[in-house]
Amino acid sequence: MPTLAVTNFNIVCSVLGGFVTLFGLVSYLFKERFYLSEALISMLAGVVFSPHATNVIKPLDYTRTQANLDAVTLYFSRLVLGVQLVLAGVQLPSRYLQEEWKPLSLLLGPVMVAMWLTSSLLIWAMVPHLSFLHALAIGACVTPTDPVLSNSIVKGKFADKNIPKDLQKIIIAESGANDGLGYPFVFLALYLIKYTGEGGLGRDGGVRTAIGFWCGETWGYTILLSVIYGATVGWIAKELLHWAEEKKFVDRESFLVFAIALALFIVGTCGMIGDDVLACFIAGNTFTWDDWFRLETLDDSLQPTIDMLLNLSIFIWYGAICPWASFTHNSVVPLYRLIFLGILILLLRRLPIIFALHRAIHQIDEARQAIFVGFFGPIGVSAVFYIYISLEFLETITVDGVQRADAKELGETLTIVVWFLAMCSIVVHGLSIPLGKLGFFLPRTLYQAYPSTGKDEASTVTRAEKIALSTLPSTASDRTIRFVDDDEPAAASLNERQAASEVGLEACRCCSIRESARDLSAPTVRETPTPRLNSV
């Protein structure tokens, strides 16, 4: 008798392949008509398949232990971030980091510091019995904006219609660079906790030692070395590909996949020595420094396809492994405080500082764009990445071979709070555009479906007549006068002007019919012509 091989590998392949297939059938409908992000849909699918629901995907069965599960999640996040950041660097125009260093320095300097301090203060206020130093460590994890979720906002039909190209580029550049620059914020707090927390038990240190390690290891080794390594590898890769293309040594398929291979190489090699996330972004931008590769692959769909598959996979995984039960059953923070914290973080973490500095960033032309950029600073893959970077470091804080009590407590709090904020951001930012569209069109649709009667009809005709008069050709004497309602602006687009003209013509037609009926009902009166005075 044949038997079914219901193995974990077969189940995972079936679920992933089935979901990607079904999503592909309606992907245009979801993304371009309903404006739903693929991250939100994938995360919800992961929840459905997770042990919390149907129990089809069983992450702990695959990894055996929680430590292995954390390691797999960290490496998976590194892989997705590495590929995403190389592609983000490739998307930017030639010499973009050099030419736009002023707005980027604002976004990566004062804005990031303000986001870190604001997030930390809110976390410190909302989580009971939490020290401010621990709040700084948690706030640092949610400081960077996520490049995966940001990419979904600045791509597609909505972005092409509503977001200027310059604004799209600065959002991509900021989300790519600040991911790697999250290391200094995270490790400043972690080093202070290690060498000053609970009196620095088990370590010979203090504030001076913590700052020394932070300056030397984090800035000197991790950040600076990563920038140099990424720029060097990106430049060498660009020159080699130029040479191979001139000699006709490389085929089209290998040419197109070159950036993906470069990302994998940097994730592996730089991951051994430093900050592979920042190195990937620098390498991607250096690789297309002369704009040659970007223009050659401008119409190519291979890189976005691989990027989409990785994004779908990572958010299905996140939906399956997220500690949903810990949000309601934990000894750290009650659920209602988490909800208030999520709302406050989304509203205050980024929006005030962006609005305050938007006049100094020339890509942000008006207050409405500042609100958009300030609100859409998503928390996602990069925050989860820093969760497990922090947990890995906290395990090294020991006393007599046992993890220090405050470090263990911080690990639990950090996991719950950052996971909850990441899920809030995925849901809220994933639904913001469709809900905003619904709020804009729903009143208009209801008004058209249920027209007003009685006095409202008279006022509607009066308004139409006014618009009709405003659309008639003007003479020299009345060229500056327009008979439109004071509380409604003039039509700004061609479609609005055409619609106004159609309403005006309809009003003229109604007026003509009404005048004809009045003429038929009134008796005929012969008027005596008025004599004309001769001019002197």
Q: 39 pLDDT exceeds 60?
A: yes
Q: How far apart are CA 407 and CA 410, in angstroms?
A: 5
Q: Are 134 and 417 in contact (CB under 8 A)?
A: no
Chain CA centroid to CA 329, Å = 30
pLDDT in tens, 472-508: 444 443 333 333 333 444 334 444 445 445 545 455 4
d(CA 173, CA 100): 10
Q: According to the model, what pLDDT value does residue 472 have? A: 45
**What tokens were used for 177?**
């660079």
Q: What pLDDT is attached to residue 274?
A: 73
Q: How high is the pLDDT of residue 301?
A: 84
Question: Around 94, how many Cα atoms within 13 Å sit in the side-chain half-sphere?
Answer: 6
Tokens 């707090």 appear where?
189
Q: How many CB atoms lie within 10 A of CB 178?
A: 25
Domain ranges of the chain: 67-444, 455-472+494-511
Q: What is the pLDDT of residues 160-217, one digit of tens each?
A: 888 999 999 999 999 999 988 999 999 999 999 999 876 555 456 789 999 999 999 9
Best CATH choice for the domain 67-444 from the list 2.40.50, 3.40.50, 1.20.1530, 1.10.10:
1.20.1530
Of 272 and 255, more confident: 255
Q: Tokens standing for 444?
A: 């208009």
Q: E strand or H helix at 62, and its extent?
A: helix 59-63
Q: Which residues contact 396 (CB under 8 A, 6 or more apart)?
A: 194
* pLDDT tens figures, 59-95: 999 999 999 999 999 999 999 999 999 999 998 998 9
- Overall pTM > 0.75: yes
Q: What amino acid is encoded at 74 in this protein?
A: L
- pLDDT score for 489: 42
184: three-class secondary structure by DSSP? helix
Which of 302, 328, 6, 35 lies closest to 161 in space, CA to CA? 35
463 in Cβ contact with 485 (< 8 Å)? yes
pLDDT in tens, 335-376: 999 999 999 999 999 999 999 999 999 999 999 999 999 999
User: What are the φ/ψ torsions at residue 399 (nearest 5 degrees)?
Assistant: -130, 115
List, in sequence order, the alpha helices (H) in 26-131.
Answer: 27-28, 38-49, 59-63, 66-91, 96-99, 101-108, 110-126
Residue type, 82: G
